């Protein structure tokens, strides 16, 4: 009887005691959710962050990279994923006294693995004293917006519900166009499924709440592997002009990066924040490559460009030096 109840508890339907044995993948997924649910409910955020960093290090090693420095940074939690992993951020100490905030985001697509090190290496530069945030500017890093995708047995673009988080934000045309775009332009690629309804995913809810709380001056979102920079920006003429000036400067300070217009997608972060909230969103698409050499080359080619973007004050249209 106890065995039957165990199978029922695991939601294993049919077969043994009226329930079938799970596949290895199903069992692994359930165990992951139980582990993270226990950590979430324990009320010890430090333990949840430490375990997330341990999993990130394991993924790094599996990719053939050296361990990350994730555990060195004082991350806070701003939300939870489908599988109850913490969504983490680092806030520079000066951030609380300024509204001139740059928000650097990585890892919204779990299979774009070299995006994540860009955020963590930027933090490493700050903590090592190689980069000093100019007075009066704020800086927040969200290094891994889709931990379930990045840490899945095989890395995947969508989250654990199979939803592309960068197609799930609520935008004015989402209800009429999101699924149509997915069918027509994405040929119903399951990796790019926008969800059955907008803002259906806990990760998206957390990101939206965070942006509404901190109201960043600009958002820089790191992706791979298309090799370009795109700007989504709306507002008055001077605001758009200053935002475009920064984009041109970012390309100038990078290597092999073109400034293009990729287009607006229903439910994308660029659409939600850049168009509807009028917060300029800079999407930096790194070139292909997941090797250790590629990871380090990406930092060499684009790290300085990112830092210059953080130094730029969109309100005045000037760079604030270290």
Structural domains of the chain, count: 1
The reply to whether 140 falls in a domain is yes
The reply to whether 10 falls in a domain is no
Residue 242: CATH number of its domain: 3.40.630.10
Tell me what pLDDT residue 87 has.
Answer: 98
The reply to whether 238 falls in a domain is yes
Residues of the chain under the 50 pLDDT cut: 1-19, 21-24
The reply to whether 55 falls in a domain is no
**Cα(142)–Cα(106) distance, integer angstroms:** 6
**Cα(77)–Cα(48) distance, integer angstroms:** 9
Tell me what pLDDT residue 152 has.
Answer: 97
| DSSP conformation letters of 80-116 | E-TT-PEEEEEE-GGGGG-S-EEEEEE-SSTT-TTHH
Tell me what pLDDT residue 135 has.
Answer: 85
Token pair 């695991």 is at which residue? 10
The reply to whether 54 falls in a domain is no
Radius of gyration for the alpha carbons in the chain, expressed in angstroms and rounded = 20
SS3 198: coil
SS3 17: coil
Residues spanned by the domain of 90? 60-319
Strand order in the sheet with 228-232: 76-80, 86-91, 138-142, 101-106, 218-223, 281-285, 228-232, 258-259
The reply to whether 47 falls in a domain is no
SS3 312: strand
**Cα(137)–Cα(94) distance, integer angstroms:** 7
The reply to whether 43 falls in a domain is no
Tell me what pLDDT residue 26 has.
Answer: 59
Tell me what pLDDT residue 291 has.
Answer: 96
The reply to whether 39 falls in a domain is no
How many Cβ atoms sit within 10 Å of the Cβ of residue 302?
A: 22
3-state helix, strand, coil in the chain (%, to 5): 45, 15, 40
Tell me what pLDDT residue 63 has.
Answer: 97
Cα 5 to Cα 8, 31, 42, 235: the distances in Å are: 5, 17, 25, 59
């Amino acid at each position: 009887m106890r065995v039957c109840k165990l199978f029922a508890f695991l939601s294993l339907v049919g077969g043994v005691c009226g329930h079938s044995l799970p596949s290895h993948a199903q069992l692994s997924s359930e165990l992951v959710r139980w582990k993270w649910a226990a950590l979430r409910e324990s009320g010890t955020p430090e333990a949840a962050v430490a375990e997330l960093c341990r999993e990130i290090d394991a993924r790094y090693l599996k990719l053939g990279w050296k361990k990350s420095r994730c555990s060195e940074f004082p991350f806070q939690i701003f939300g939870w994923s489908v599988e109850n992993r913490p969504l983490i951020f680092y806030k520079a100490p000066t951030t609380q006294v300024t509204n001139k905030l740059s928000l650097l985001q990585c890892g919204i697509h779990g299979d774009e693995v070299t995006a994540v090190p860009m955020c963590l290496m930027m933090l490493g530069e700050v903590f090592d004293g190689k980069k000093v945030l100019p007075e009066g500017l704020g800086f927040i890093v969200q290094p891994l917006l889709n931990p379930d995708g990045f840490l899945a047995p095989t890395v995947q673009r969508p989250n654990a519900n199979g939803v592309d988080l960068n197609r799930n934000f609520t935008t004015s045309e989402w209800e009429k166009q999101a699924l149509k775009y997915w069918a027509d332009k994405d040929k119903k690629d399951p990796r790019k499924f926008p969800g059955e309804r907008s803002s259906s995913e806990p990760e998206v809810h957390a990101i939206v709440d965070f942006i509404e709380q901190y109201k960043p001056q600009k958002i820089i979102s790191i992706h791979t592997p298309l090799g370009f920079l795109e700007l989504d920006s709306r507002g008055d003429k001077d605001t758009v002009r200053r935002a475009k000036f920064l984009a041109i400067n970012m390309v100038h300070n990078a290597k092999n990066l073109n400034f293009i217009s990729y287009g607006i997608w229903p439910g994308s972060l660029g659409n939600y924040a850049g168009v509807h909230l009028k917060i300029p969103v800079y999407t930096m698409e790194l070139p292909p490559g997941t090797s250790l050499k590629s990871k380090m080359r990406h930092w060499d080619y684009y790290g300085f460009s990112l830092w210059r973007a953080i130094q730029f004050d969109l309100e005045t249209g000037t760079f604030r030096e270290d």
